[in-house]
A and B are shown apart, each in its own frame.
Chain A
Amino acid sequence: MKRNDGRKNDQLRPMTAKVGVVKNANGSAMFKIGGTTAYAAVHGPRDLYPRFKQDPEKGLLRCDYNMMPFSGHGNRVRPGGGRRSKEISMVTQNAINPVVNLTDFPNAVVDVCIELTETDAGTRCAGITAASMALADAGIEMKDLVIAMSVGMLEGELIADVNGVEDCELGATDIPIAYIPSMDKISLLQIDGEISREDLKKALELGKKKCLEIYEIQKKALKEKYSEKVKSK
């Protein structure tokens, strides 16, 4: 099968990552994969209101996912708040929560704002990838970085990093996953479409392998920001 953008089945779209892009935030990052760009900004730890959400044992991680009004093609999902963005905010939070340690911040909150300026499928994955870099940049204690990407099934073949056309027009099965390498755990798994049990297993293996490619890019971006300072003597 030939993919519509000429990629190999297991090839990711070109990626760029940058850390420290939002000056006002405690930590921030940008992650771009193909036609999808996610910005994540971390604010806090800070006071948490409404008060009934406060947890005296540990801090709360609160994620907010949002597509910007001009970001999409305007044909399928409509940007802005709604059922979809609420759900994605929740799965993002659940995907990142296993790695962060907020026991030092009882009653407080760490806010993660994820904004998508360009969207071409795989937005929640780009959002999670950017958010985990932003959290590291904000100096939050975490066991590992989280990487997310989507794998899919199109015309009976496994593909990595489903793009917009494959997802919306060609009807690929879209499986976004988030992966935590040091624990070898998957913290997000959603499936949109049909796939057999055996194929799903294979898809997850492919996803894990490909996530490690993104992991290297995350690490490089984070180190770049900080080693610059050490080098410029």
Chain B
Amino acid sequence: METLKVKNRDIVVPGETLAEGMGFLPSRGTYRIRKEIKAQRLGMISVDKKVIKLIPLTGAYLPKVGDKIIVKVIDIMMSGWRVDTRSAYSAVLGLKDATSDYIAKGADLTQYFGLEDHMIAQITNVTSQKLIDVTMRGPGLRKLRGGRIITVNSHKVPRVIGKEGSMVTMVKQATDCNIIVGQNGRIWIDGEPEKEILAEEAIKKIEKEAHTAGLTDSIKKFLEKKTSKKLEVKGGSQK
């Protein structure tokens, strides 16, 4: 007997039986015990033919190679910086990855990045023991000056960015702010103070209403009402 116990987009809790029988395949976030497939964490179910996948709705950020994240300097070492990634582990930014300048031995590294500085950096390596390397060499990677940093749940970042960046582009358009979204859930907003607040409000609204249908429309309405500007929704380019 093969029976599916849940529907697509159902919210499930750990240990909940998703399907019975060997006809289904457990994918990410699920496991098989005897002949049942059960959920391994709290999340939303996505059934694709015979494959059952669980999309997590909460949880800490898990560092992944290639992610562009907003980091904060927490310590300065002999030849690099230790940065906070908003995950369980800190990362190291080596001298070579930080700048193309020649840095003499024993130079004062705070002239590049000081404590509490925020940067947008890219993860280059994650080991099995979760030692993380980040780099500042690459397009768009830089120190963030001014503006404000807000944080959202890292699992909601894809919704904040939207399809091909449509959502964040819309917020940028409406508020005339510079916005950079890090995969780790840190978001940098820079613009007029009132506009920054509006952008923050909009992003918090997106976070709160992520996973609702018609999210783009409701955010569009919200922003149009607040700014009395006509907005166009289109796919932009945003990392």
Residues on A facing B (Cβ under 8 Å) = 26-27, 44-47, 56, 59, 99, 101, 104-108, 136-145, 181-183, 218-219, 222-223, 226-227, 229-230, 232-233
Q: Which residue of A lies closest to B41 (CB)?
A: A141
B76 close to chain A: CB less than 8 A: no
Contact, CB under 8 Å: B42 / A107: no
Contact with A along B105-137 (1 / 0, CB 8 A): 000000000000000000000001110000000
Tell me, rounded to whole Å, the shortest Cβ–Cβ distance linking B92 to chain A: 14
Tell me, rounded to whole Å, the shortest Cβ–Cβ distance linking B44 to chain A: 8
- Of the A-B pairs whose beta carbons lie under 8 Å apart in the complex, a sample of 20, sorted by A's number, is A44-B88, A46-B88, A47-B90, A105-B130, A106-B130, A107-B130, A108-B89, A139-B42, A139-B57, A139-B58, A141-B14, A141-B40, A142-B40, A142-B41, A143-B15, A143-B33, A145-B14, A222-B13, A232-B209, A233-B213
Q: Which residues of chain A are near B130, meaning CB under 8 Å?
A: 105-108
Contacting A142 at CB < 8 Å: which of B11, B14, B44?
B14
Q: Which residues of chain A are near B50, meaning CB under 8 Å?
A: none
Contact, CB under 8 Å: A219 / B16: yes
In Å, the complex CA distance between A46 and B88 comes to: 4
In Å, the complex CA distance between A139 and B44 comes to: 12
Q: Which residues of chain A are near B94, meaning CB under 8 Å?
A: none
Q: Which residues of chain B are near A45, meaning CB under 8 Å?
A: 60, 88
Q: Which residue of A lies closest to B127 (CB)?
A: A106
In Å, the complex CA distance between A118 and B14 comes to: 28
Tell me, rounded to whole Å, the shortest Cβ–Cβ distance linking B146 to chain A: 27
Residues on B facing A (Cβ under 8 Å) = 9, 11, 13-17, 29, 31, 33, 38, 40-42, 44, 56-60, 62, 88-90, 128-130, 155, 208-214, 218
Tell me, rounded to whole Å, the shortest Cβ–Cβ distance linking B209 to chain A: 7
Q: Which residues of chain B are near A101, meaning CB under 8 Å?
A: 40
CB within 8 Å for A229 and B208 given contacts A104-B62, A142-B14, A143-B14: yes
Which of A108, A137, A230 has the most B CB atoms < 10 Å from its CB? Answer: A230
A-B pair number, CB within 8 angstroms? 101
20 other contacts beyond A139-B58, A182-B38, A226-B57, with CB at 8 A cut-off? Answer: A27-B58, A44-B60, A47-B89, A106-B128, A106-B129, A108-B88, A108-B89, A136-B41, A138-B58, A140-B41, A141-B40, A142-B14, A142-B40, A145-B14, A182-B15, A219-B13, A229-B212, A230-B9, A230-B211, A230-B212
In Å, the complex CA distance between A105 and B209 comes to: 29
Q: Which residues of chain A are near B15, meaning CB under 8 Å?
A: 99, 142-145, 181-182
Tell me, rounded to whole Å, the shortest Cβ–Cβ distance linking B59 to chain A: 2
Contacting A229 at CB < 8 Å: which of B88, B89, B90, B211?
B211
Q: Which residues of chain B are near A105, meaning CB under 8 Å?
A: 88, 130
Contacting A144 at CB < 8 Å: which of B14, B42, B59, B90?
B14
Q: Which residue of B lies closest to A146 (CB)?
A: B15
Q: Which residues of chain A are near B208, meaning CB under 8 Å?
A: 229
Q: Which residues of chain A are near B214, meaning CB under 8 Å?
A: 233
In Å, the complex CA distance between A223 and B39 comes to: 13
Q: Which residues of chain B are near A145, meaning CB under 8 Å?
A: 13-15
Contact, CB under 8 Å: A144 / B38: yes
Q: Which residue of B lies closest to A102 (CB)?
A: B88
Tell me, rounded to whole Å, the shortest Cβ–Cβ distance linking B221 to chain A: 13
